[in-house]
Structures are given as structure tokens and as C-alpha cells.
A and B are shown apart, each in its own frame.
Chain A
Amino acid sequence: MKNKTSVLPQEGEARPSRCPDNSAFKQQRLPAWKPQLTIATVLSTFFVTGMLCLSVGVCLILSANSVREFQIDYSDKCSDCSELRENSSNWNKECHCSVNFTLEEDILGDVFMYYGLQNFYQNHRRYVLSRSDAQLLGENVNNSYCSPFTTYQNGTPMAPCGAIANSMFNDTIDLFYNLNSSVIQVPLLKTGNSWWTDKNVKFRNPKSYNLSSAFAGTARPPYWQKPVYLLDEEDERNNGYVNNDFIIWMRVSAFATFRNLYRRVSRIRQFANGLPAGNYTFNISYNFPVTKFKARKHVILSTVVWSGGSNPFLGIAYVVSGAAATLAGFVITAIHLKLRKRKTCFQK
């Protein structure tokens, strides 16, 4: 084609207007990189990836193994309480129970205390949607986002509204260290557990001279025992919508089994290095009903490393993928070598 067209007389004439441009783009001659899977690239990719994955996996497993974790299911530990809570009319009756446990060895470093819920569908569509971020930002708006927990029948708006807020986890858990028959309360930090953006951007109390007046004209959600402005009476900056426990609860979980950060052990006095081995007691005020919908609740003590908590999945997955990639590399080499003999035969 090429030499033929060039023969055509074009030079002498005035350039015809309808002649297409001779640009690389229009003639589809753009310079291009034409990658192709060659044995070298493929094998190197496989071996390099395999090795990388293996080493990352080993690191992950090692670090995950260094995490110390302690977990207690207390849903049925206080059997009276769970029965009591099954009937919602008993909402204002207090129920306390204590759970004793022994730490065989020290938990060193920062110790985090979580409450864990199982079979609690925080990711249900209607549940996830049932919140008003505008309200939580302190804007006094009434809107339909919170359905079905928007207002009471008499028209009083709920604050905070919505199914998520209404179902907030409201057990209080205290930790006591039993040292030689003396009981020492482990100092726990209840602030600084949430994302900075949540605490400072996403949640804001309504503006007013004090909190209770800011929430005037609203009522607490039906399952709450106290109004939102009494969530933390000691710390003004941890009260109302910006209460840490509330913020953490409002960040809904992706799955029905989850754990939320509840408290951090304050590293002072005996606990400067973490939790020493010994006997401990959880004093729990049992408010949150779970048995009614077949859920479970736990309290968890754990440390973290760079890769998070003690979940071994990622490490194992990396090791398996790395091994598979390396193995695949060998298989490909074997198949290719078997074939290459034939190729060289006829290329001579």
C-alpha cells in the first residue's frame, strides 16, 4: 500500500482539500508501547510477587502473634440481668453484675478495652440510613432521615434521632485489679478513642449557653436511660453529641459481628507498663439487651501493633498467595520448558 500511494501524483498539484491529514493520530500511527507477556516478564513477576507476599505474610503473622488479647462473653454471666432486659418495661431498673477473671501473664503496652457484639446487624440498610447527620452537626432540623425514630407521638423530636442512636450500647464496664485482697480500680480513659474528624467535624452540639438548654424541646430516644446532655456529666467536652461512646457507636460496623473501642487503660501507677498478671473483676451495669435477638456481647482486652489487632487472616492470606504465586511460577517454568524444546527444533 505504502509505495503505491506515494506514486500517485500529489506533489505538483495544489493539495486537495478533502485529503485526510497525514497526522499520526488520524493515520493510527501514534507511537505506542506494545507490552507482551513474555516468559521473562511473567516468571519474574510471579517469583517477585511470590517472594514479596511470603515475606509480608510472615511479618504480618509474627506481629499479629505478638498481640495479647483477652475476651469474655458476658451475655449470660448475669442471668437475671439478661432476663430483666428482655422486657423493655424494666428499662429503668438497674442491674449490676461482676465478672471475675485471671490474667496468667502481663499484658504489656497500651491496653485497649472493647465491647464486642455478635449477631447485631448494624449493617442493615434501614438501620444504616436511620440517622440525621445534620442534626448531629448541631443544626436544629427536623427531617425524615431518622425514620422510624424521629419524634414521639406527641410531636417531641428525639435527640439524637434514628435507629442507630436509639440502639446505642449503654452498658458501663469498670475494671478492678484484685491485688492481695485490695481492690484497685484500673484507670480508664474514655476520650480520644474516636477519629479526629468525627470528634471535630462530624459531630457538634447545638449552640446555646449550656447543653441542657441546647437540647430543650427534644426528648431522649426511647431506649435511652438519660438524655443526651447527661452522657458524661463530668466532662463538658465529652457530652452531648460529641460524647466519645456515642460517636463510636454512630460509626456503624460493616458486619453483624464487631467490636467497638470502649476504654483505654491509662498507663499510670501499677499500670504504667500495661496490665500486670493477676485477678481482675469487670463490674458491669447490664443495660443493653442482647438475648432478645439472639445476640452476644463480649468485653475484650487487647493490645495493638502496626498492623492492628490480633486478626491473623491477612498474614495467612499473604503467605498462601505468596506460596501459590511461587508455585505457579515453577509450574509455568515447567510447562514452558517442555514446550521450548519443540520450538527450538524448528527454528533452526
Chain B
Amino acid sequence: MAQDGTARHCTALHCSAWHCSALHTTHDPLSCAVHPQSNCIKTSKYNIITFLPVNLFEQFQEVANTYFLFLLILQLIPQISSLSWFTTIVPLVLVLTITAVKDATDDYVKRCQLPPNSTALSLCSLRQEQWMNVRVGDIIKLENNQFVAADLLLLSSSEPHGLCYIETAELDGETNMKVRQAIPVTSELGDTSKLAGFDGEVICEPPNNKLDKFGGTLYWKENKYPLSNQNMLLRGCVLRNTEWCFGLVIFAGPDTKLMQNSGRTKFKRTSIDRLMNTLVLWIFGFLVCMGVILAIGNAIWEHEVGVCFQIYLPWDEGVHSAFFSGFLSFWSYIIILNTVVPISLYVSVEVIRLGHSYFINWDKKMYCAKRRTPAEARTTTLNEELGQVEYIFSDKTGTLTQNIMVFSKCSVNGHSYGEHKRPEPVDFSFNPLADPRFQFWDPSLLEAIKLGDPHVHEFFRLLSLCHTVMSEEKSEGELYYKAQSPDEGALVTAARNFGFVFRSRTPKTITVHELGRAITYQLLAILDFNNIRKRMSVIVRSPEGKIRLYCKGADTILLERLHPVNQDLTNVTTDHLNEYAGEGLRTLVLAYKDLEESYYEEWSERLRRASSAPEAREDRLAQLYDEVEHDMMLLGATAIEDKLQQGVPETIAILTLANIKIWVLTGDKQETAVNIGYSCKMLTDDMTEVFVVTGHTVLEVREELRKAREKMMDASRSISNGFSYQEKLSSSKLTSVLEAIAGEYALVINGHSLAHALEADMEVEFLETACACKAVICCRVTPLQKAQVVELVKKYKKAVTLAIGDGANDVSMIKTAHIGVGISGQEGIQAVLASDYSFSQFKFLQRLLLVHGRWSYLRMCKFLCYFFYKNFAFTMVHFWFGFFCGFSAQTVYDQYFITLYNIVYTSLPVLAMGVFDQDVPEQRSMEYPKLYEPGQLNLLFNKREFFICIAQGIYTSVLMFFIPYGVFADATRDDGAQLADYQSFAVTVATSLVIVVSVQIGLDTGFWTAINHFFIWGSLATYFAILFAMHSDGLFQMFPNQFRFVGNAQNTLAQPTVWLTIALTTVVCIMPVVAFRFLKLDLKPELSDTVRARGRRGWARGGRPLPWGSLTHPPVLSSGALHSARAEEAEDPAPVHAARGARGLPPLRLRLLPPGGLRGAHHVRQEHAAQLPGALQLQRPAQRRLDRDPA
């Protein structure tokens, strides 16, 4: 900084102002020595030098890796070592290397993705600085449309009175502009020289996450100036409509309110990860048990047999008792049985997930051509959890909607315009000031204006006057509107095109071009919009001197405030309003009122007094506003469309069918949120009831929630009389009753009520109520509340949650949920940076979950099952052999086989299955959303499945040992020599093991691509190639003590008996599996089996991909899944019911949706030219987790 003369001022300033970060009272200049908080937020972990030690240190923090290191050390003790050191170190090094490469890549990628930290801006107006170099106490200059780099105290700006406008969408999701004002004494400091003389000191509150509060004091020139949030520019905001401004950095980097609000980054683990860790611990326990059994066996054996055998095999030095020998043998067995805890498990899982992530990145169907953004899996560790999602928390603005408002319909004086659409948009060429982008399709409205309909004129006059839009006219006729909210912008633009052009405003006047005539209205008062009033008004004096109040606002509020003479008109307009709302449009009612001069004078006098009142100012103002906005005359209503993103209702419909609950959490106001809820089909008119919770106190909220629950209970009681006796249900039982609620309900809750509902004593009540509803909408929520809601569901429901959003206000929620998805939209990239997955359209979510997530889950589960199976089959053979070799920890296999089994002979086929397997084609996942269910219920890999795999592995190992044992004992080769020598036995068992597990992976692989073929056959070929190489003369002559199996392969594998043994083992190991699999498929087929079989049958006939012709059930079903379920229900409920009954599920219920209610479900089906008159929805009243891991 101290480079030239002027810069020194800045340094001085540095120190003087720096106390603001030493926020706690101290004025001690020494505190300057402490480094102020840097603005840099560091996200990468390594650099080139630290990489190796840090990464190794991290890796050895993993329990598994430490365990293998421990094993390695054990193996170096000669008395214990039952295996050569390389059997452990080779896999360990391989695993560490792969992980290190992956970590390095991840870290490198992260480093490259930090655009906000690299933006340059002017600092102290002296030099450009990187964001990361901004320090607390610096004064920085911001220019229009720049992001605010840190939390700043506004000092001065280009606008009069030190005003500046900011957009806080990144922060709280609200898209309207907000005004901030510098305190008068600093607003004079308009240029650098004056600023250089500024040496004030700020004492303020410590860093916190409250976005709307700030308290502090500026000490300058012996004066104190109070500071409030009104003076602050927070990091993440964007400067708008202001050429430049200066600000003093108060909080930087992690202290900023944005970062404080974003929650702590947690390391996310999937439920499979947690289950896997539990299972690995169990396996450890199992390993120790086996070790103990064999150690006891060893002690007994040495005591009974070994002690006599000492003439030929004396005990090792230092071993004086059978007991001690048993103790050593325990450790020896821990070494040779360690392969039950598969060392390559974690790294294989990582590799598979990486593969799945690439498939997501490569998916052309999740590529948005308009924005040129492909989908991106930003973390590679969560993929399979995408197949288990039960709750989706979605932001609204920018996620469900495009955040583009369009004036679409209006009702003026009982006449609705915009209904009849013409092919051509209305021609606005008569109006030179018209916005060419505006389009309206109903010419009758323009005709009404041209005919001079006074109501229509007054309607548009209101729209052109009653707003807070700013205009900017760069050149004559080139108008730009800066609206606080896109709604207002849309309305004013509509008025502009219909000939009522809002031209400019001053604090006291508004100039409007009415049909070519410039008219300046005197602006007497603006009655602001707020959330309680839900309306805004202006009072203007026309050039003729008439005073008129124009008001626009929410229908619920405004219709009550109309003059009684409006009754007829009100009825017609209400009909129109309902119609509009039903279409998901955002409506506003417009009204006006003429004011008497005298009344106005008196009222404005009272207003002036109220606004300068020291206390209860807000209330008194509200009262005055309330008084004047009364007995108004109805003008009409507007309907604005907040365009939904493409495919949103379809996506929501499909996700709902897949049993995923969708909650919308938005910062928007309630009406808007509800409207969007309707338009994206989350809320429907045939819902039994939509509960709205708006209470302001704890009691009110509790009461509202209780009422909602009671209504639901009543309804379900009236349906099933069974409940009538259970009036008094304990709260724990309440849960189950509420989960079985019949009918469709929705809950809408306001932010202030949510604050109460989320308190510790009410959160369970709230959650139960909310979860009983089909749709939940939380409006006016803060970013932290979003996270709290997600946290609540995570805490009590033990379900996988997914949060999706696009703005900085969604970051905390994205970080809290199990899976965070960022929409790379118009609101910057904060959400994307915090997310685990990102793409640019909400509709891609269905593909991410139903296709990629489902496949990932399926593949991961199949992979894990097989992986545990193959390791148990491999390792347990040693256990059985222990009983025949004096428990001496002799291995069955050659040590090279042990080294290579997991990393060479059996790794690639299972990886190929884990990466490429597909049970049903991707289209089917969309057609049959029910296919998603096994993931949610955790059916494919859970403790039960694990035990089945283990049992299969143990079964295989038993046969793998005892069949060769039976054959080899006392047997001779066909040339008379002994057959049962140790080395031949080892080769026979190893070969049959490799063949059996290869056949098994062949059975498990459902999707044999060329790669699978290559890997499976290649692995077998590799096995034999390595076998013969290891047993070759050359290697033996070089290292006779290492390659002792010389000549073994050709001598053993030339024996017909050996091959007959291998064949028998394979048959006996595989046939029962085939039988069980087939019977399961035949007796209780999973939906995926049915779908797969159907697809296959169609394919076999060589015709269309699916034999839809056979699906000619009367009302064609939305999916064949339902077909089979329904059909079985109708014809013979036994199989499905028996299956479900066994799982403890209530029977299926079917419900007909109205036509078109399920657009999403059949859009793929349209390819098959099936017209769908209606759609069946399959639903289970309650969704219960069957075997969910409690962790």
C-alpha cells in the first residue's frame, strides 16, 4: 500500500479505522499489530510441497488405512508373519496412490473455480485490488452493477443525499431493489482527497448472521454517529442505479454476514457410507472372533499334537507353551484373514462414484443449450444417495420460475381481456415509446383504449402512476425502467405499451405520456407497500387540480376496502380473479378514490405529525394509511405470469409419483408462493384443504397447527371408523396416525410463524403436520430458516434430503441437506459453488434423480453385495483350512494369488458392473417413477442383504474348500503320483475360486457391454497368464525362494480330476444362486424385473421396443408398473399383497387423476402413440422405511 504519497493516507486510515474489527471496546493502538481479517476465503487444501505429507496424513486418519498399516507392521514380525509383507503393501500403495491422485485433482479443480475472489475492483480509488486483498478498515469504491466485496459502511455515493440502490437477491432472494443511505456527515466525502482525510473509528457489534440488523457507532471529529442497517452494504449485494459509492470495510471474509449465514461446510457422507462403516466394524468383530476361535484351536492343537511333533518341528524360539503359540497364531490369522475387510473397498467405491459423476457431466440430456451449461457433479461422493431422496426442498424464484414477469391478463370494469388469443401479437406501432419486447395477444384491449373507454384509461393511468419504478432515458424515446420488483416492472411496461408511458419522476412529480400527451402529476404521498398492508397507494394531484388516491394490492385486502356501490362489479371481478389464480397467475386488484381538498389537507397534516412522532411511529402511520384507503372504487385487476421454467409441473408430477415430497421454501410473499404452487401443480384445486399458518405468536402457531392436525384426523376418522375409539392417542402414536392420513392436504406457513414452529418444543408437532401434507410451502423464510427446516427433517425423518436453489440465500440450505443442487441461473454462482450438483434447469432434476441417482444406487448396491461376497468366499477358505493344518495360519493360496486377487483378478469386472450396469433402460425410469422406490426404502443394500451376501460367500468358501478336500484326500494322479500335494491343492482352489466369482459376476451383470465382456474374460485370461508366468522355470531360476510353485500350473491343470473338481465346485456354488434368483424373480418380481422382462419380450419379438399393444387396459395407465400391480390386485391379490404384507406395508390404493394431471408421466409415452385419457396414480398412504440404518 505504501507506495506513494497519497497511499500513505490510506495506510493511516487503515489503522485508525481498523478498530472496527477490534470490535470489542479496545482503542489500544497496539491492536493494529494484529492482522486484520483478510477477505480471502480459502477453499483449496494443498500446495505442491505440502501435498504429499498432508495428504498421507489425512489418508492415514482413515481407520481402514491405519488398519492396513498396522497389519503391515504385524507382518514384519517373523514369529507372526504368515504372509509376505508385499501382500499388504502392494494393495495399500495402490489404494493410497489412487486416492492421492483423486484428492489432488479435486483440489486442483476447486482452486480453479473461485471467480468471486478473483474479481478486481478499485481500492481506495488508488489502485485496483483483488477481492482477496481487501482488509477491514480499507475504503473501497464500488461501481454500478458490481458485487459488494465485503460488508461495507456506506460513506458516500454518486446520488444526492448519499443514497444508493442495491439488489439483495444473492443475499435473501428478494429481487426488488433496496435503498441505502450514508449518514449525512460522511455523504459529503465525495472524492478521494476528502476521503483520505477521513479518520473515523467504528465500534460495532461482533460478526453475526442477522441480515437485517446492524448496530454500531461512528466516532469522528469528537462526535458520535449511530449506525444502522440502513447504512450498510452487505457482501453479495449488487450495486444498482448508482454510478459509484465509497464504503468502509467493516467485516471481511468469513466475518461477513453472507458467510456467517452460509453455515459451516460439513463433510457429507452418504447413508451407504455410514452403513458401510458399520458393516466394516462388524466384519472387524467377525475377524477377531475367527481369530480367537483359531487361536484357541491352535493352543489345543499344539498342546495335544504339536508338542509330540516337536522332534520334527520344534516350537519357535521364545514359544514355550501352547497358550503362547495360540496367542501368536491369533495375530497370524488376523493377518491372513484381513482380506475379509477389503482394502480396495473404499477406493473402488470412489472410482465407481467418479465414473457416475462423469456420466452426469457428460449427459447431453442435462445440457442446457440456451445457457451453454452442462450438468456438473461437483462432488463425487454422493451419487448413490441421489437414488434415495425422499424430500426435496426447493427455492422458488429462479428455480421453479424463470423470474421473468409477463403482463398476461387483466379485468377492467368487469370485462376480462387477454382471454382470446390471436395468432398475431397486438401491434403497438402507433406508440413510438412502446417497448418492443412486450407482447399481448388480445387486440380488444387496445381497441377499448382507442375508443376512449374511461375505465380502461383510468386503469392504465393507475398502472403508470402507482409504483416505485425509476426510469432512465438514455436518449430520446429510449426508456429503461428500474423496478424494485419484476411485477411492478411488468405492470408499468404494460401501461407504457398501451399508451400510458411513465416518463420520469422527481420526488414531487411524476410525468406520464398519456396517449402522446405529456402530463405531469404532482406526487403528494406514497403509501408504501409492506407485508401486512399488502397494498400500495399514491396520492397525486392532476394538472386539473383533482386529488386522487390510486391503490393496488392483494385481492383479499383490497376487496374489503371498496365502496359498497361496487358490489356487482366486485362479484364479476372476483370471478375473474379466481379464474386467473386458478391458472397460477399473480393477481393484483386496482382501485382509486377521489379525495376532497380539505380532507387531504387535514390528513396530510396528521401524516406529517405522525411521521415525526418519536414513538409508535409505524403504528400511527399504518392507522392513517388505513383510514384513507377506504371506500375505494374498483377499477379492475391485473394478472401477471411469473413464467415457470420449462418442464417444472411435469417434473414435479413425476417426482411426486416417485414418492418424493417436495417442499418449497421461498423468501417470496405468501400469495406469490401459493400461486406458483398452483401453477406448478404442487397445489391443486381438488386438494382436500390447504392449511395456512400465519400466526405471530407461539400460541397462535400452535393452535393453527393443532387445528390442521385435527382436521386431518377427523377426515381420516370419518373414512375409517377404526380410529373413533382412539380419541386419546399419545403423541408418539400420533405420528403413525398422521402418517396414515387419507386425503390430500397442503400446508403453507409464513416465515414469522415458522420461527415459532421451529422452536424446540414445537418442531416435532410442526414436522408431523407438515409431513402428513402432500405439499408444503414456506414463504418469507430467511436463509437460515431454510437450513433449519432441512435440518429438522434430517433430524427426525432419517430420510435423504435434497435442497435445490439458485441464489446465495439458498446456500445454507444447500449445505445442510444431504444433497445440494445449485441451479446455475441468473443470480450469480454462490449457490452453485456451495452445491454438490449443478445444472441450469429445474427439470433436469428428474433425470438426475430417476436416471442417474437410481442407477448409481443400483450399481453401488450390486457392487457392494458382490464385493463382500467375493472377499468372504476368498478368505473363509483359510478358516476351514485352519482345522486341517494344525491351526498354524498356513494359507490355502499362493501368496501372489492373495496379493493379486483383489486388485487384479477380480477388480475390473466388478468395477465395470459398478460403473456401467443398467437394470432397465433410462426411458423406463421416467415412465415408471415407482422404480425409484427401492432406493428410498433402502431395499437393495441393507443389513439383511449384507448378511445374505456374507452367507453366500461363506457357503461358497465351504464348498471351495471341502470339495477339493474330498477329492484330493488319498487321491493319486493318473500317472500314479500323489495328487494331494499342497501346491496342487492351492492351484486347484484358487482356480475354482476365480472361475466361480467370475461366473457369479456374470450372473450379477445385467448389462453386458463390450467393456464388461472385455473385463470379465480378460480377468480370467489374466489369471491364467499370471498363473503360468509365476509358475514358470525362468522366474524360479532367478528367485528360487520366491517362486516355489514352479511347474505347478502345467502339472496340476493337466489332470482331468482337477478340472472335474473345478467344474463341480462351480456348478455346486452357482446353481443354488440361479435357482433362488429365478424363484424370486418368478414369485415376487420387483418392478424393475417386470419392466425389464417386458422390455425384453418386446425386443425379442423384433418389433417396437415395447409391446404396448398388449397394454390395452381400459383406461390406459400411465405406466405398465401400475398395470401389473393393478392387474394382480384385480385378478389375484395374493402375490403383491403377500409380498407387501410381509414387509409390513399397507395395501396399495389407486386413485384416478384428472385428465392432463400427469403430463409429465406420459410425455415419453407419446412416442408410442398412446393417447392417455386419464392417468392412474399409485400411492401408498404412508411411506415407511423398512430397514433404514438408524445412523
Contacts and interface: CB of A to CB of B under 8 A. Distances in A.
A149 to B, nearest CB: 9
B1047 A202 contact: yes
A306 B1058 CA distance: 12
A137 interface: yes
A5 B969 contact: no
A145 to B, nearest CB: 6
B281 interface: no
B911 to A, nearest CB: 15
Given A36-B1096, A124-B313, A307 B847 contact: no
B974 A308 contact: yes
Interface in B315-359: 316-317, 332, 358-359
A274 to B, nearest CB: 13
A285 interface: no
Interface stretch (A152-160, A178-186, A208-216, A253-261): A253-261
Contacts of B1131: 342, 345-346
Contact of B1071 (A8, A201, A328): A328
A134 interface: yes
Interface string B1086-1119: 0000001100100000000000001000000000
Max count, chain B CB within 10 A of own CB: residue among A10, A20, A307: A20
Contacts of A336: 1082
A88 interface: yes
Contacts of A72: none
Nearest to B917: A32
Interface in A123-144: 123-128, 130, 132-134, 136-137, 139, 143
A92 B308 CA distance: 21
A292 B307 CA distance: 10
A311 B1041 CA distance: 33
B1064 A19 contact: no
A135 B312 CA distance: 20
A9 interface: yes
B916 A30 contact: yes
Contacts of B971: 308-309, 311, 313
Contact of B1067 (A126, A257, A325): A325
Contacts of A90: none
Given A18-B374, A21-B362, A307 B1040 contact: no
B642 to A, nearest CB: 21
A8 B1044 CA distance: 66
A134 to B, nearest CB: 4
Q: Chain B: interface residue count, which band?
A: 35 or more
Contacts of B985: 254
A29 to B, nearest CB: 9
Interface string B1116-1153: 00000000000110111011000000000000000000
Given A309-B971, A314-B1057, A293 B890 contact: no
Contacts of A102: none
A220 interface: no
A325 B316 CA distance: 49
A27 B362 contact: yes
A19 B364 contact: yes
Nearest to B975: A304
Contacts of A123: 884-886, 888, 890, 982
B841 to A, nearest CB: 10
Contacts of B308: 292-294
Interface string A292-305: 11100000001011
Interface string B969-997: 11111111111111111100000000000
A32 B1008 CA distance: 5
A166 B312 contact: yes
A342 B361 contact: no
A20 B974 contact: no
A119 B362 contact: no
A197 interface: yes
B190 interface: no
Given A18-B372, A42-B1074, A307 B974 contact: yes
B60 interface: no
A45 interface: yes
A161 interface: no
Interface string B872-910: 000000000000111011100000000000000000000
A346 B1128 contact: yes
B980 A253 contact: yes
A318 interface: yes
A121 B889 CA distance: 13
A292 B308 CA distance: 7
Max count, chain A CB within 10 A of own CB: residue among B374, B647, B1068, B1164: B1068
A238 B1040 CA distance: 21
Contact of B1047 (A143, A195, A309): A195
A321 B886 contact: no
A5 B1046 contact: no
A66 to B, nearest CB: 13
A323 interface: no
A326 B923 CA distance: 40
A268 interface: no
B1082 A339 contact: yes
B699 interface: no
B948 interface: no
A263 B967 CA distance: 23
B982 A122 contact: yes
Contacts of B970: 116, 257-259, 309, 311
Contacts of B1092: 34, 36
Max count, chain B CB within 10 A of own CB: residue among A248, A252, A321: A321
A37 B364 contact: no
A228 interface: no
A53 interface: yes
Nearest to A291: B308
A193 interface: yes
Contacts of B1008: 32-35
B83 to A, nearest CB: 10
A167 interface: yes
A30 B1010 contact: yes
Contacts of A266: none
A253 B982 contact: yes
A259 B1009 CA distance: 49
B198 interface: no
B626 to A, nearest CB: 50
B1079 interface: yes
A39 interface: yes
A112 B1134 CA distance: 65
A247 to B, nearest CB: 10
Interface string B1044-1072: 10110011000111001100100110010
Contacts of A38: 1093
Given A36-B1092, A325-B1071, 4 more contacts: A37-B1077, A193-B976, A251-B982, A257-B970
Interface of A: 1-5, 8-10, 13, 16, 18-22, 26-28, 30-39, 42, 45-46, 49, 53, 56, 60, 88, 110, 112, 114, 116, 119, 121-128, 130, 132-134, 136-137, 139, 143, 145, 148, 163, 166-167, 193-198, 201-202, 223, 248, 251-261, 264, 289, 292-294, 302, 304-309, 311, 313-314, 317-318, 321, 324-325, 328, 332, 335-336, 339, 342, 345-347
Interface of B: 82, 305-306, 308-309, 311-314, 316-317, 332, 358-359, 361-365, 367, 369-370, 372-374, 646-647, 847, 855, 884-886, 888-890, 916, 918, 922-923, 926, 963, 965-986, 1006-1012, 1033, 1036-1037, 1040-1041, 1044, 1046-1047, 1050-1051, 1055-1057, 1060-1061, 1064, 1067-1068, 1071, 1074-1075, 1077-1079, 1081-1083, 1092-1093, 1096, 1110, 1127-1128, 1130-1132, 1134-1135, 1163-1164, 1166-1167
7 contacts: A33-B1008, A36-B1093, A37-B1077, A116-B970, A248-B978, A259-B978, A318-B1064
8 closest pairs, A vs B, by CB?
Answer: A197-B1047, A254-B985, A26-B362, A309-B972, A125-B888, A293-B308, A125-B890, A167-B312
